[in-house]
Amino acid sequence: MTTLFTPLQVGDLRLPNRIVMSPLTRARAGTTHIPNDMMVDYYSQRASSGLMMTECTMVDAHACAFIGEGGIYSPAHVAGWKRVTDAVHAKGGRIFLQIWHPGRAAHSLLNEGEQPVSSSAKAIRNDVTHTLEGAKPYEVPRSLRTEEIPRYVEMFRLAAKNAHQAGFDGVQIHGAHGYLIDNFLRDGVNERTDAYGGSVPNRARFLLEVTDAAISVWGAGRVAVRISPLVPFNDMADSQPEALVTHVAQELNRRRIAFLEMRNENHTLPLEQAILAIARRHFQGVLMSNGSYTRESGESTVACGAADAIVYGRPYIANPDLVERFAKQAPLNQVNYDRLYGGGPDGYSDYPTLAAG
């Protein structure tokens, strides 16, 4: 029987287990967005996971949505991340960089006055974002002109190239959560009338162009995609998530990417199970599933074959040795929600392992 501890071939990589660390923004990189010693510690502490994804990482100097997130757009960022990947590899781990553009979730106060961009000029409603001048409502973004889109694809290609130089094992394209790629994917936001809007294939075009750009750098066996077709975060919605997932899964399947990750909120909900099953039907490669999993529900999901690996977010915040804890069925540390974003090592790289316990 397949368990969380059954090794798994994922593209070009062999994972020793199926317990994967979710991308988690922790905003410890400061205003330079350059990884530091604290981040080297944090990621290397979690190296026993089958695979780690980094926090979402800026593909461009004007792609900031959170104070202190990591970047991958200059030689200094490459050098900073190289220290992280070296430390993870020294402990026998594997790590993908999550490459990301925030789209309409950015703010001009975080981007030297640049107006956020999106598929359409629709703001995130009824919410605020945090800038160096305090909390501010989201701004109305500028709709990208058709002829500008290749430049944004190129940002992702350069980020993928930088990730390669920084020694990562691959990249995960962030197509979830209402950021730039998702602003194109879902029709609750995308009101375009050009080749990037309207039909499902048109809305998926930007994601697939970015995917092809990343494949041109890495080869398909080192490129992954994360989507969240049902997650409403950042004021997102879609009228036909089933059709969207069918098309995206089929197109990614043709490209033979390393894995597709379905990010849900609570995998026990029937609608979420149905969308995962659609991805399974149309994507024959490795399928990863995320969303409120425990050890037990992760075990039963891989045992029944609904997904090949389980992606854990909050459990990984507080448990650097999640793999060892699951193996021993040991209790988990609880997340300190006051220390999620920014600040120092407390609530970040100081969660105890069982051994230190």
Ligand X SMILES: Cc1cc2nc3c(=O)[nH]c(=O)nc-3n(C[C@H](O)[C@H](O)[C@H](O)COP(=O)(O)O)c2cc1C
The catalytic residues are 179
52/30 Cα distance (integer angstroms): 22
CA distance 87 to 201: 41
Contacting residues for 1 by C-beta, under 8 A, at least 6 apart: 303
Count Cβ atoms within 10 A of the Cβ of residue 258 and give its class: 0-12 exposed, 13-18 middle, 19 or more buried: buried
Nearer to ligand X, 25 or 44 (CB): 25
- Near ligand X by CB under 6 A, which window of 104-112, 174-182, 300-308, 321-329? 174-182
Q: Does 272 bind ligand X (CB under 6 A)?
A: no
Minimum CB–partner distance for residue 291 and ligand X (Å): 5
Task: Locate all alpha helices (DSSP H) within 129-240, ordered by sequence.
Answer: 149-165, 180-185, 200-218
Choice from 174, 203, 205, 325 touching ligand X (CB under 6 A): 174
Distance of closest approach, residue 138 Cβ to ligand X, in angstroms: 18
Interatomic CA distance for residues 314 and 248, integer angstroms: 27
CB 56 within 8 A of CB 23: yes
285 binds ligand X (CB under 6 A): no
**Residue 17 main-chain phi, psi, to 5 deg:** -155, 175
DSSP state at residue 237:
-
Q: What tokens appear for 310 in the block? A: 């389980």
Least separation in angstroms between residue 12's CB and ligand X is 22
State which residue, 143 or 290, has the beta carbon closest to ligand X: 290
Give the one residue of 226, 247, 280, 325 binding ligand X; rule: CB under 6 A.
226
Show the site string, 338-357: x = touches ligand X by CB under 6 A, - = not.
Answer: --x-----------------
Q: Which is nearer to ligand X, 196 or 312 (CB)?
A: 312
* Sole window of 114-122, 136-144, 173-181, 346-354 interacting with ligand X (rule: CB under 6 A): 173-181
Cα–Cα distance list, 189 to 165, 180, 203, 279 (Å): 35, 11, 11, 22
Q: Does 97 bind ligand X (CB under 6 A)?
A: no
Q: Does residue 67 bind ligand X (CB under 6 A)?
A: no
How many other C-beta atoms can be found within 10 angstroms of the C-beta atom of residue 328? 10
In degrees, rounded to 5, the angle at the alpha carbon of residue 286 between the alpha carbons of residues 330 and 83 is 65
State in angstroms the smallest separation of the CB of 146 from ligand X.
27
Among 17, 22, 162, 211, binds ligand X (CB under 6 A): 22
Residue recorded with tokens 């780690």: 52
Among the residue ranges 17-25, 207-215, 281-289, 320-328, the one whose residues contact ligand X (CB under 6 A): 17-25
Contacts with ligand X, 307-336, as mask; x by CB under 6 A: -----xxxx---------------------
Q: Is 263 in the site for ligand X (CB under 6 A)?
A: yes
Using CB under 6 A, which of 70, 103, 178, 291 touches ligand X? 291
Shortest separation between residue 26's beta carbon and ligand X, angstroms? 7
The reply on whether position 176 binds ligand X by CB under 6 A is: yes
The DSSP annotation for 27-85 comes to --STTTT---HHHHHHHHHTTTSSEEEEEEEESSTT---STT--B-SSHHHHHHHHHHH
Number of other residues whose CB lies within 10 A of the CB of residue 6: 15
Residues 232-251 that bind ligand X (CB under 6 A): none
Which chain residues interact with ligand X by CB under 6 A? 22-25, 55-56, 98, 174, 176-177, 226, 263, 290-293, 312-315, 340
